[in-house]
């Protein structure tokens, strides 16, 4: 069976790998000049086995307070955009306690499968992605947020990861680089057995291994449309006028998946959530953290790679335009600097923006569509690095008629 995977972000490359392992002939078609150059390029790098969705019970209230605040963790730019309105209504409907619990469970099951799958694959293939295994320390600004540490600890426990709740005094003991900032926080949660690594390095390494295993990569090749004949997906039409025929097409085009699906009359409820990251060289500074740090209040994810420190986060709902807001860039950098004043060479900060493919409930879209032969592996939102390998495995199992590792029903398009 010949399968086209549309998109070579971390999600598409992982899907290609597992489809090839399952015996398919695979062609990956990617508009950019290499793998992982869009949203998979400079993300937070956290393999998060215990994260929940953005749509949470406390978010509607916060959203109203955050409107117009350039440094808000979630910024809604008010504009007439029917895709955003439709998506936003569904997002708000997912902010109830019951929906939050169900979504957290579904996301958790896939994150657990996927994080384990990623680490196993990296070790087996020897992919050098600057893994940092020093653990993740989540820090809390308010007592109310700190009260949620216990629920997060329980989610870590479900993933088989021991985590310890620590008070303010414990923060600098666990991560000495937090010594100056620690008094501004009330406590933390430390998970020693968790990792961060560079998603782009992993994607590039896995693409090279997949190519060696026989996957064909067509870079610099934009898909204009998925071709459908007598109601069945038959391949892709390229922007340069060519076509590629296939038995199945997997839409793994991240935030651009709904744009391609729209041409087929298929509604894929994915909206781009613009995020920012800043990477600085550590350059011999003594104040860089050893481990990864999550600032729960600011929703910032800090990762230490070999000789670089990165802060990533914030969500801006403003369409497909990747133009950064200078105020948001400055705020992100300032928060990193406030946490780690001597953490790196801030004069050499490299700024980046990426568009997270967000579904309203935070669960990705995996599986068949109403068009036979067209499959989805998209909508991974803020957790695409964590969920890519597990999603690729599940997709390949479904597409080739094997027993799926976990129940794929919670990720079906049919839920919308
Ligand atoms: C600031 C930020 C921080 C993040 N931090 C984390 C984190 O710490 N942990 C985590 O798990 N996740 C994180 N994420 C989320 C993660 O980066 C994404 O979920 C993931 O990269 C999505 O991968 P993808 O392959 O679906 O999309 P992409 O990487 O965007 O890949 C889609 C590909 O499709 C291609 N494409 C689109 N249209 C076409 C077309 N017409 N023809 C051909 N090719 C096309 C694009 O060029 C692109 O390469 C973060 C995201 C951001 C923005």
CATH number at residue 210: 3.50.50.60
Structural domain contains residue 95: no
Choose the final residue of a domain: 310, 332, 358. 358
| 109 located within any domain | no
Q: Over the range 157-181, which residues count as b (16 or more CB within 10 Å of their CB) and which as e?
A: eebebebbbbebebbbebbebbeeb
Question: Are 221 and 243 in a shared domain?
Answer: yes
- Whether 296 maps to a domain, the answer reads yes
Last residue of a domain, one of 312, 342, 358: 358
- 9 CA distance to ligand 1 centroid (A)? 5
256 and 338 in a single domain? The answer is no
Task: Kindly state whether residues 353 and 366 are assigned to the same domain.
Answer: no
Split at pLDDT 50, 70, 90, the class of 221 is very high
State mean pLDDT over 363-387: 98
For ligand 1, atom 14, the nearest C-alpha belongs to 382
pLDDT tops 80 at residue 235: yes
> Structurally, how many domains does the chain consist of?
2
Q: Which of 256, 353, 365 to mutate to test the pocket of ligand 1 (most atoms within 8 A of CB)?
A: 256
- The mean of the pLDDT values for the chain is 95
The Cα 199–Cα 358 span in angstroms is: 18
Output the residue whose Cα is nearest ligand 1's atom 41: 223
Ligand 1 mutation target, pool 7, 130, 395, most atoms within 8 A of CB: 7
The whole-number pLDDT of residue 275 equals 96
Give per-residue pLDDT as tens, 255-301: 999 999 999 999 999 999 999 999 999 988 999 999 999 999 999 99
Q: Is residue 102 part of a domain?
A: no
Which residue's CA is the nearest one to ligand 1's atom 19? Answer: 384
Q: How many CB atoms lie within 10 A of CB 327?
A: 11
Residue where one domain finishes, among candidates 333, 358, 383? 358
Predicted model pTM = 0.97
Model confidence at 73, in pLDDT bands (50, 70, 90)? confident
Residues within 6 Å of ligand 1 by CB: 6-12, 29-32, 37-40, 43-46, 48, 222-223, 252-254, 256, 260, 275-277, 301, 312, 354, 356-357, 378, 380-386
In a domain, 324, yes or no: yes
We report the CATH number of the domain holding residue 147 as: 3.30.9.10
Confidence of residue 158 (pLDDT cuts 50, 70, 90): confident
Distance 388 CA to ligand 1 centre (A): 10
223-229: strand order across its sheet: 223-229, 232-238, 243-245
Name the residue with the closest Cα to ligand 1, atom 31: 9
Residue 101 lies in a domain: no
pLDDT at 52: 86
Both 225 and 162 in a single domain?
Answer: no
Same domain, 35 and 151: no
189 and 302 co-located in one domain: yes
* CA 337 to centroid of ligand 1, rounded, Å: 26
In this prediction, residue 35 has a pLDDT band, given cuts at 50, 70 and 90, of: very high
Nearest CA to ligand 1 atom 22: 384
Average pLDDT over residues 69-81: 81
Residue 155, H or E segment: helix 149-158
Range 167-173 average pLDDT? 94
Clarify whether residues 176 and 134 are in a common domain: yes
Do 157 and 26 lie in one domain? The reply is no
Give the pLDDT score at 238: 98
- What domain range includes position 276? 59-79+130-195+271-358
In a domain, 181, yes or no: yes
| Of the candidate ranges 3-17, 57-71, 213-227, the one whose mean pLDDT is the lowest | 57-71
- Assess whether 280 and 344 both reside in one domain: yes
Residues 156 and 70 in one domain: yes
Q: Report how far residue 366's alpha carbon sits from residue 388's, in angstroms, rounded to the nearest whole number.
A: 11
Give domain status of residue 110, yes or no. Answer: no
Going by pLDDT thresholds of 50, 70 and 90, the confidence category of residue 241 is very high
How confident is the model at residue 93, as a pLDDT?
A: 97
With cut-offs at 50, 70 and 90, classify the pLDDT of residue 66: confident
Q: Which atom of ligand 1 is nearest to the CA of 378?
A: 26
Q: What is the mean pLDDT of residues 229-233?
A: 97
Binned at pLDDT 50, 70 and 90, residue 71 comes out as confident
Measured from the Cα of 273, ligand 1's closest atom is 53
For the stretch 119-154, pLDDT in tens is 999 999 999 999 999 999 999 999 999 998 998 899
The encoded tokens of residue 292 equal 């990864």
Confidence check: pLDDT of 79 > 80: no
Q: Identify the pLDDT of residue 72.
A: 84
pLDDT tier at 80 (50, 70, 90 boundaries)?
Answer: confident
Which tops the pLDDT comparison, 154 or 373?
Answer: 373
CA of 37 to the centre of ligand 1 (A): 8
Residue 74 in this model has a pLDDT that exceeds 90? no
Residue 230 CB partners (closer than 8 Å, separation 6+): none
Residues 205 and 155 in one domain: no
Q: What is the pLDDT of residue 50?
A: 82
State the average pLDDT over residues 199-211: 98
Quote the percentage of the chain above a pLDDT of 90: 88
Q: Are residues 170 and 35 in the same domain?
A: no
Burial class (CB in 10 A: 0-12, 13-18, 19+), 333: middle
Residue 38 confidence (pLDDT): 98
> Which residues are bridge partners to 350 per DSSP?
279
Q: How far is the CA of 349 from the centre of ligand 1 (A)?
A: 22
Q: CA-to-CA distance for 3 and 24, rounded, in angstroms?
A: 7
Which atom of ligand 1 lies nearest, measured to the CA of 253?
34
pLDDT tens, residue by residue, 311-357: 999 999 989 999 999 999 999 999 999 999 999 999 999 999 999 99
């Amino acid at each position: 069976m010949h399968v086209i995977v549309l998109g070579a972000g971390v999600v598409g490359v992982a899907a290609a790998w597992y489809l090839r392992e399952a015996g398919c002939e695979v062609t990956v078609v990617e508009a950019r000049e290499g793998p992982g150059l869009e949203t998979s390029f400079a993300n937070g790098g956290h393999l998060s086995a215990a994260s929940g969705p953005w749509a949470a019970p406390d978010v509607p209230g916060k959203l109203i307070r955050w409107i117009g605040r350039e440094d808000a963790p979630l910024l809604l730019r008010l504009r007439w955009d029917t895709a955003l309105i439709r998506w936003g209504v569904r997002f708000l409907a997912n902010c109830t306690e019951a929906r939050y619990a169900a979504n957290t469970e579904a996301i958790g099951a896939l994150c657990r499968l996927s994080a384990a799958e990623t680490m196993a694959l990296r070790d087996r293939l020897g992919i050098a992605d600057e893994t940092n295994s020093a653990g993740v320390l989540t820090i809390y600004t308010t007592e109310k947020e700190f009260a949620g540490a216990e629920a997060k600890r329980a989610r870590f426990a479900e993933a088989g990861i021991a985590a310890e709740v620590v008070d303010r005094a414990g923060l600098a003991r666990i991560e000495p680089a937090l010594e100056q900032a620690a008094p501004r926080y009330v406590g933390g949660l430390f998970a020693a057995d968790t990792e961060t690594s560079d998603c782009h390095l992993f994607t590039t390494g896995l693409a090279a291994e997949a190519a060696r295993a026989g996957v064909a990569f067509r870079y610099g090749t934009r898909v204009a449309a998925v071709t459908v004949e007598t109601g069945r997906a038959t391949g892709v039409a390229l922007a340069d006028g060519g076509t590629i025929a296939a038995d199945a097409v997997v839409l793994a085009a991240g935030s651009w998946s709904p744009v391609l699906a729209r041409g087929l009359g298929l509604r894929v409820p994915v909206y781009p959530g613009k995020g920012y990251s800043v990477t600085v060289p550590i350059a011999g500074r003594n104040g860089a953290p050893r481990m990864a740090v999550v600032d729960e209040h600011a929703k910032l994810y800090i990762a230490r790679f070999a000789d670089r420190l990165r802060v990533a986060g914030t969500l801006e709902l403003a369409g497909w335009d990747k133009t950064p807001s200078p105020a948001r860039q400055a705020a992100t950098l300032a928060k990193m600097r406030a946490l780690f004043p001597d953490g790196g060479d801030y004069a050499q900060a490299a700024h980046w923006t990426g568009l997270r493919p967000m579904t309203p409930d935070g669960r990705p879209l995996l599986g068949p569509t109403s068009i036979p032969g067209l499959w989805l592996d998209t909508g991974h939102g803020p957790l695409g690095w964590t969920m890519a390998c597990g999603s690729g495995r599940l997709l390949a199992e479904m597409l080739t008629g094997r027993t799926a590792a976990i129940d794929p029903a919670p990720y079906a398009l049919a839920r919308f």
